Structure formats: C-alpha cells, structure tokens
Chains A and B, each alone.
Chain A
C-alpha cells in the first residue's frame, strides 16, 4: 500500500464573528495510505470536520502542509458524504447519484453502467427512479454514498455519515460500507463519535483531543480485515473499543 496523503503540522485558527480567535486545530500529523480506512474520533468541537474539509480542499486557509502523492483533481478525486444525505429533492435517486458524472460531462455507457452497479451495491437498484422523499433515512444515506462514489474518486471522506440514523439502520449501513470497501478498495477517512463504529470499520483509528484539536494517538485495529456482525462479539473488539473509550475521557 502506497502513501496517499500526509498531513504535517497542520493548524487552523478561526476568527469568530466578534473577532475572537478560536484555535480549532494545532500541530496535526496524520498519514493515510492508499486503500486504508482511517477513523477520526474525538470529542465534539475538536476540529474533525475542519480537518476533513481541509483535506477535501474546501478550506485553503490553514497552517502547515497537506501533501498528496497525486494531487486530487477538482471534481474528480474527492468523494464526500455528509451527516445528512443532502440529496436534491427534485431529482430521482439515479439522477442524484449521477450528478458528479454530469458535472464531468461524462455520459458514456460505462458511466451509466457504473451508476447502475453502485445502486445495486448499495441496494437501491429497485429505487433508481424514486425521489428522495420516497426513501427511508437509511436509504437516502446509501444514495448519498453512491453519489460520492459515482465518479470513482480516489478518496472517500465521510463526516459522521451514520450519525443521524437509528442503531439498527446504522449497523446495517456499517455492513454495507464494509461491502462497498470490499468491492472498491477505496481509501476512506471516516469521522465518527462512536468507538464501536471506528473499531468495526477502520484499519486505524486516530484519536483527537479537545480544543485545540490535536491527534493524541493513532491505533491499529487488532482485527482481521474480513469483518462481519460476529466480529462485534470478539473479545478483541470489546477490548479495543473500551481502550478507545478510555482514551476519549
């Protein structure tokens, strides 16, 4: 696995509305290898979203360095999933998913096939012509994930993508994401509040500390890459999740 991205001594200071300075991030170092799943976990307000937005290229005003082995091409290499699905209500699921391809003016038959395959992969093949309001919350979030993957980005950034879902739906989407990773081997950076989610999905977990946000530690998850619901019952799973929880306190 080659290196994809390295974050070096990155810091970010916001100037609030009243002119006060808020240091959101300080001295953040993080390496991300191609094809790995890195979870970012930390207390609310520690700068996880800020870091993710920087990596996505949405915020260029920061200190330090962000180095890519191959710089991401605008509109092509970053897939982003928000906490809310953020689908366009006036477009069918299929047309929502193909939005990025439209922007690239790619209406080749491969592109269309890719959209169909992705809808199949996230279990929405029968709902391609439905509108977002006809879907459940979990289905909408699946559509949002398919949209982020449609143009085959090099990296998938997810900002608490399952945070707004109920526990049962969330577990199901975890398994979907594992399946998607299995099929695409995408590099994924996943922001989460849940130690179980981080443990279940990630290869490595970066634990952040509260303001100013720093990376406290990076842990390898001591589990096989092949995971399924029975993995959650393994003693190593509970042990690692417990260790993360302790570190967050």
Chain B
C-alpha cells in the first residue's frame, strides 16, 4: 500500500513539474503539449480501439523474440561452456558481437529481409541472445567444484546433470541476464517497428511524428515506457518469488 502511494507520489511530481513547466515557460504545444492533452490523445487511442492492436502486436513480438532469443542464448552459452574448442573457435566473433552496437545492423537487416516481420525478429533475437548467452556461461561457472565432482561420482548423464544441477545453479545468473535481455527485446521491437513496420507502438510514434501530432507521439512513448516497466517487473517478480 505504502509502495503504491510512493509510486503515485513520484508520478504526481513528474506530471506536476511537467504541467507547471509547460505553463510557466509557455512552451509551444508542438514541442511539449500539456499533460492533459497527452492524456486526451491516449484516451482517444484507447477509446477508438486503436491502441489494442498496436500494443498486442508489439507485445507479441517482444514475448516471442525474448523467448526465442533466450533459448538460442542459453543453448549457445551451454555449448560454449561445455566445449573448449567451440569457445576458442567462436571467441573472436563473440568479442566482436559484444563490442559492436547491434542496433547499427538494423538498416542492413531491413535491406536483406525487407520491411518484413523477419527482419524485426532477427533484430530482436540478435539483441536478446547475447546477454542470455553471457548469463548462461556465468551461471554455469557458479556450480561449485565439489558439486561438479558429485555429478561425476553419481554418473549423471549429461541431460540429467544439466537439468538437476546446472540449470538450477545457473538460475540466479539467468534471471539477472533476463532483466537485461527483456529491455533489449523491447529496444529491438520498437526500433524494428520504427524502421519498418506498419503496425505496433513504434509505428504509432512515427505516425505521431510525421503527422505533427505531438500528443500522440508522447502518448505512444508513455505506453512504451509502461510496456518496458511491465516486462522488467515481470522478471523481477519471478526473481522475488524464487527467493521466498
């Protein structure tokens, strides 16, 4: 309850400051509309049933991209951790991938895969798999030496060792990675829509931008932030539930 009040307090400060600033500094509405105008735009979006398809489109892309990217990342992380050869072979690429701003390849993806869903997913997967792969490798390193020895003494098969020891031991690291990956998934989804889509929250932002409808633009940004907070909150929730 007190947390809810505190959150509301924070929101009130932001909205209040925003409202005051717009009035006192006399900011033109096309740069920064007053909060009530944005709220109006949001209400229109919701009321005309326009928000829902865009929101669910983006949310679906995020969820699928996050799930797919996580699977790829975990599998790759496990493979790299298990095989020294693979690790040494792929290391230069991994360093490259880690250092390169992955967003920079977005225009290339559009070029190769066109303005399609494929290029959107490729971008999201590319962003998501890396933190998950790194987290998996870190998590697997967290298996204590004695426990690894125990696995050998009990003659655990590889899959059994994976499921009874490695994955549970790596779960804290995986969740930490998921927090980063979920944000990356959203970045990827919005960026992809910004570049190419005809639907989604990213598209709404473009629409707001090109039609000089600043309230719409800001409303879309706000919804986006909310989606981001929700994703992050869900992962944090899983983390908290585990600790109980």
Contacts and interface: CB of A to CB of B under 8 A. Distances in A.
Given A57-B153, A58-B152, A99-B154, 6 more contacts: A75-B153, A76-B155, A86-B144, A86-B147, A88-B168, A102-B164
A84 B146 contact: yes
Contacts of A82: 146, 149-150
B239 to A, nearest CB: 14
Interface in A33-84: 56-58, 74-76, 78, 80, 82, 84
B153 A78 contact: yes
A80 B149 contact: yes
Contacts of B149: 58, 80, 82
Interface residues of A, number: 17
A102 B149 CA distance: 17
A78 B154 CA distance: 8
A100 interface: yes
Contact of B164 (A56, A84, A99): A99
Interface in B134-183: 144, 146-147, 149-150, 152-156, 160, 164-165, 168-169, 171
Interface of A: 56-58, 74-76, 78, 80, 82, 84, 86, 88, 90, 99-100, 102-103
Nearest to A73: B155
Given A99-B164, A102-B164, A86 B154 contact: no
B168 A90 contact: yes
A88 B165 contact: yes
11 contacts: A56-B153, A58-B149, A75-B153, A80-B149, A86-B146, A88-B164, A88-B165, A90-B171, A102-B164, A103-B155, A103-B156
A235 B27 CA distance: 97
Nearest to B171: A90
Interface in B216-230: none
A178 B105 CA distance: 68
Contacts, number: 40
Interface residues of B, number: 16
A99 B169 CA distance: 15
Contacts of A80: 149-150, 153
A238 to B, nearest CB: 35
A80 to B, nearest CB: 5
A84 B144 CA distance: 11
Given A88-B165, A88-B168, A103-B160, A75 B154 contact: yes
A86 B153 contact: no
Given A80-B149, A82-B146, A74 B155 contact: yes
Nearest to B146: A86
A84 B150 CA distance: 12
Contacts of B154: 75, 99-100, 103
A76 B153 CA distance: 9
Contacts of B152: 58
A102 B160 CA distance: 10
A56 B152 CA distance: 10
Given A88-B168, A102-B164, A58 B153 contact: yes
B155 A75 contact: yes
The 4 lowest CB-CB distance pairs between A and B, nearest first, are A75-B155, A86-B146, A74-B155, A103-B154
Contacts of A58: 149, 152-153
Nearest to B144: A86
Contacts of B147: 86, 88
Contacts of A99: 150, 154, 164
B170 to A, nearest CB: 11
Interface in B16-35: none
B150 A86 contact: yes
B242 to A, nearest CB: 9
A57 B154 CA distance: 11
Nearest to A103: B154
A215 to B, nearest CB: 24
A58 B144 CA distance: 16
Contacts of A75: 153-156
A99 B168 CA distance: 14
A91 B65 CA distance: 32
Nearest to B160: A103
A90 B164 CA distance: 10
Contacts of B146: 82, 84, 86
Which of B150, B160, B164, B169 has the largest number of chain A CB atoms within 10 A? B150
Nearest to B161: A103
A242 to B, nearest CB: 34
Interface in B181-205: none
Contacts of A88: 147, 164-165, 168-169
